[in-house]
Structure 1
Amino acid sequence: MKITNLTTDDAALAEFGRRMTEARLTQGKTQAQFAQSAGVSKRTIERLEDGGSVQVANLVRCLRALGKLEGLDRLVPETPPNPIDLLERQGKARQRARPDIVDDGAGTPWTWGDET
């Protein structure tokens, strides 16, 4: 089954669980062996493979134990820089986000000048 934006949450979790089961069985591991290698409880593996919800940290541990953690990088890839922004910044010094802490070179912070 292909998971798309039209797939219900329950169906997506069920398919994900089926794929996790398949990956575990391909490696010849029982649920207990998989749980031990992932550092989670056997009940967590059962819940995951049944399409239930698990904590993200436990999911990461399970993916690592299966040698599939790099799949998360494809799931939510890093956003590349916007080419227009890169062109606009080319040759310009980076500006500080907080002008009130700009160093004037004399070691004193910038002020508005109306302080008494």
Structure 2
Amino acid sequence: MKYGPLATDQLIAADLGRRLEAERLAQDLTQAQLAAQAGVSKRTVERLENGDSSTISNLIRCLRALGRLEGLKTLLPEPQPNPVSVLKLRGKTRQRARPSAEARPAGKPWAWGDER
């Protein structure tokens, strides 16, 4: 299933629950067995598989028990630098977008119209 901008939270949670259940069944585990391996209650596994509310730590525990924790890296990969920005900098360090408070003359507070 593809998640578009109109997909509801409940629809996404239900789909993730179905995927979790399919993986559990593929590994020939009961809900009770997965719960014991993950250190959560059987009811927590039921909630996750039904797409009901649960904590992210419970999902992580279940994924770890199923050996599927690495899949989270593809969920939200590390941000990569923009190639155009890298070319523009070419060895220079990135500067602040605007001057800091230290750049103003000492003892003189900032006032409207006093921008540099």
TM-score normalized by the length of structure 1: 0.74
| Amino acid of the structure 2 residue aligned with 1:72 | L
Query: After the TM superposition, which residues 14-33 of structure 1 pair with which residues of structure 2 at under 5 Å, given as runs?
Result: 14-33=14-33
CA deviation profile, 1:37-77 (whole Å, cap 9, x unmatched): 11111111010011112101111111111111111111112
CA deviation after TM superposition for structure 1 residue 91, in Å: 2.3
CA deviation after TM superposition for structure 1 residue 83, in Å: 1.4
C-alpha distance in structure 2 between counterparts of 1:73 and 1:40, whole Å: 23
Percent identity over the alignment is 51
Q: Compare 10-19 and 22-31 and name the one that shifted more.
A: 10-19
Match of 1:85 in 2: 85
> 8 Å contact 1:3–1:12 — kept in the other structure?
no
Q: Structure 1, unaligned stretches of length 5 or more?
A: 101-109
State whether structure 2 residue 43 is matched by structure 1 residue 43.
yes
Q: Structure 2, unaligned stretches of length 5 or more?
A: 109-116
C-alpha distance in structure 1 between counterparts of 2:88 and 2:101, whole Å: 21
TM-score normalized by the length of structure 2: 0.74
| Amino acid of the structure 2 residue aligned with 1:26 | A
CA deviation after TM superposition for structure 1 residue 92, in Å: 1.8
Runs of 4+ in structure 1 off by over 3 angstroms are 93-100, 110-115
Match of 1:103 in 2: none
C-alpha distance in structure 2 between counterparts of 1:9 and 1:76, whole Å: 17
Match of 1:3 in 2: 2
Match of 1:65 in 2: 65
Residue 49 to residue 93, structure 1, CA distance change in 2 (3 Å): closer
Root mean square deviation, CA, Å: 2.4
Number of residue pairs matched? Answer: 105
